[in-house]
């Protein structure tokens, strides 16, 4: 089989809302658990998480083994390395202009579409077993590009950003938006909600899948009903909530 899971671009073009999970702890076992639980995708968080390139590679292997699509949230300079180790998609934070979006697409795609550097000895090319034209075609068609719009400036430039060919999804980060709009940490502030709803509308108009953070199933369904189709939760938050509830239940005086 091919090393790269190439399902995501087609899924993002579909109508079914996709449930994902941010995994910020560099543990392949957590990725496997997400796959066994049935989530559609995991996001290895290399923006705020501590994983190095080798840990990330092992997490991508765990995703392939458990059948879940692996995305890496990565800073722009690391795009090539992340794709060479077999990520199915990149999710790049703080995209504020069409020029930056074009640069990201170019870094993610081989010529003639983009300017990605080629090396067929990589894990993504099966260490040479899936090299050449097959690897190039699979990578260009099956690797998704997801941009994150997290500032007032990005919202103001959104139509230009979404007009860039090669963008498969746009993710609206409510926490950073709350800071940018002057309401730090207030992710449900009307200004933040209004910006995200506007963003979803514009993304759908451009044929780009809109994505929003969902902290719980209620958030998932709320944003799904607004038109969002790319909806990750946060694994550490879910584990933390479960731990708090378990400890509270065990220490309660009832029972």
Q: What are phi and psi of 41, to 5 degrees?
A: -150, 155
Q: Of residues 48, 58, 189, 221, which has the active-site annotation?
A: 48
Please report, to the nearest 10 degrees, the dihedral formed by the alpha carbons of residues 93, 225, 43, 191 taken in order.
30
Label residue 67 left, alpha or beta by phi (over 0 means left) and psi (-120 to 50 means alpha): left
Residue 42 and residue 31 in contact, taking contact as beta carbons nearer than 8 Å: yes
48 part of the active site: yes
Please report, to the nearest 10 degrees, the dihedral formed by the alpha carbons of residues 223, 20, 74, 174 taken in order.
20
Label residue 182 left, alpha or beta by phi (over 0 means left) and psi (-120 to 50 means alpha): left
Q: What is the Cα–Cα distance from 123 to 89, expressed in whole angstroms?
A: 15
Residue 49 and residue 25 in contact, taking contact as beta carbons nearer than 8 Å: yes
Report the DSSP beta bridge partners of residue 73: 45, 91
Active-site positions? 48
């Amino acid at each position: 089989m091919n090393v790269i899971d190439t399902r995501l671009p087609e899924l993002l073009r579909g109508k079914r809302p996709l449930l994902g999970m941010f995994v910020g702890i560099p543990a392949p076992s957590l990725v496997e658990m997400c796959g066994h639980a049935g989530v559609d995708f995991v996001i290895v968080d290399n923006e705020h998480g501590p994983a190095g390139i080798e840990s990330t590679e092992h997490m991508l292997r765990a995703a392939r083994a458990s059948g879940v699509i692996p995305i890496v949230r990565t800073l722009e300079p690391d795009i090539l390395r992340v794709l060479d180790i077999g990520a199915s998609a990149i999710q790049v934070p703080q995209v504020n202009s069409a020029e930056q979006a074009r640069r990201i697409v170019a870094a993610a795609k081989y010529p003639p579409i983009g300017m990605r550097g080629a090396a067929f000895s990589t894990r993504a090319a099966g260490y040479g077993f899936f090299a050449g034209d097959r690897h190039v075609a699979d990578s260009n068609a099956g690797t998704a590009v997801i941009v994150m719009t997290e500032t007032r400036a990005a919202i103001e430039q959104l139509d230009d950003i979404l007009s860039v060919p090669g963008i498969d999804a746009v993710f609206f980060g409510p926490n950073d938006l709350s800071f940018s709009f002057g309401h730090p940490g207030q992710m449900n502030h009307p200004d933040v909600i209004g910006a995200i709803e506007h963003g979803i509308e514009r993304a759908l108009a451009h044929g780009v899948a809109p994505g929003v953070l969902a902290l719980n199933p209620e958030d998932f369904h709320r944003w799904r009903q607004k038109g969002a189709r790319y909806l990750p939760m946060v694994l550490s938050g879910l584990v933390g909530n479960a731990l708090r509830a378990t400890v509270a239940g065990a220490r309660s005086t009832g029972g």
